Copies of this chain bind each other. A is one copy, B any other.
Amino acid sequence: MASEFDLIDRYFKRVAPAGMVGVGDDCALFGVPAGMQVATSTDLLIEGRHFFPDVDPRALGHKALAVNVSDLAAMGARPIGCLLGLALPEAREFWLAAFAQGFHAMADQAGCPLIGGDTTGNPGALAISVTVFGAVRPEAALRRDAARVGDDIWVSGTLGDADIAYRLLGGHMPADAALLARTRTALEWPQPRYTLGPALAGVAHAAIDVSDGLLQDLGHILKASGVGARLAWDAMPVSSALAGLPPARVRHAVLAGGDVYELCFTAPADRADAIRRIGAECGVAVSRIGAVDAGGQLVVLDADGTPLRDLPRGFDHFRSS
């Protein structure tokens, strides 16, 4: 059997992109365009905590990178590259090949090549660390503390799918193969908005990616910016896959469901046309779901303008901190 080193070389060592030093030196090297800063984010994912042990390794490779690329997008940063750390219980060639395939496909798609990393054996559970780098003009970065009173609040894509799939897979909802088939891709193959995010830099004010649930993540923006917000339930881009589910279930999935990786962002009201044009150019639906106000509250209004009561808070799925 091939040694662990050989397997790593086979599946993870690629030729470094032009202008970079890649896997195989003490450090990877990369440049940043003049006037731009480096945006960086890291995730540490543990089997049994952040993903099901029997998850498709190709999907896991995709998602491990996708959720980090999503952080770049939420900052308005264009991807540069990434680092991968893997602590493997055993060198399973089949598993590594599939994981690497999913990871590299996401990297190629987002223009975020693997430029370095660290691999090791591990007597315990599989652990995966991913660090991403991007470039952004600091004055245009989409910071959490940049929401302003009067801003519109927007969200990309549709909401609710991933939460339903998670509940079905975890046995927290009655088995429903057709519903799982409609929602599972959203949970296991999230599409980070790496084109939309950088396109919004300099137009939108604040942004965050929806990882813990819309209300909780928007709450981070409101808290950091010292503002409140009113959202309109009727404006929410509810996934069509949720048709027929009980209204309370839908509301919870849309407002509190995590693992979404759509962007929630605020922008001046007079830039609404620009936001719609950017969405169209990026091929991503964008929905105006509310507005920032000076209150300290986050309320969701129904069609009659009545605040919804007992709003679900975001919860943590796999990622409880």
With both chains docked as a complex, state the minimum distance between the C-beta of A27 and any C-beta of chain B, in angstroms: 4
Contact present for A27 and B72 (CB under 8 Å): yes
With both chains docked as a complex, state the minimum distance between the C-beta of A43 and any C-beta of chain B, in angstroms: 5
Contact residues of A between 1 and 58, Cβ < 8 Å to B: 4-5, 8, 21, 24-32, 34, 37-44, 46-50
Contact present for A46 and B127 (CB under 8 Å): yes
Contact of A123 among B117, B125, B138 (CB under 8 A): B125
User: Interface-forming stretch among A83-91, A249-257, A272-280?
Assistant: A83-91
Q: Could you tell me how many residues of chain A have their Cβ less than 8 Å away from some Cβ of chain B? A: 67
Contact residues of A between 134 and 177, Cβ < 8 Å to B: 134, 136, 138, 141-145
What is the bound-complex CA distance between A127 and B39, given in angstroms?
Answer: 24
Q: Is A185 located at the chain interface by the 8 A CB criterion?
A: no
Contact present for A133 and B31 (CB under 8 Å): no
With both chains docked as a complex, state the minimum distance between the C-beta of A19 and any C-beta of chain B, in angstroms: 8
Residues of chain B lying within 8 A (CB to CB) of residue A319? 120
Interface of A with B (CB < 8 Å)?
4-5, 8, 21, 24-32, 34, 37-44, 46-50, 71-72, 74-75, 77, 83-87, 115-125, 127, 129, 131, 133-134, 136, 138, 141-145, 207-209, 224, 319-321
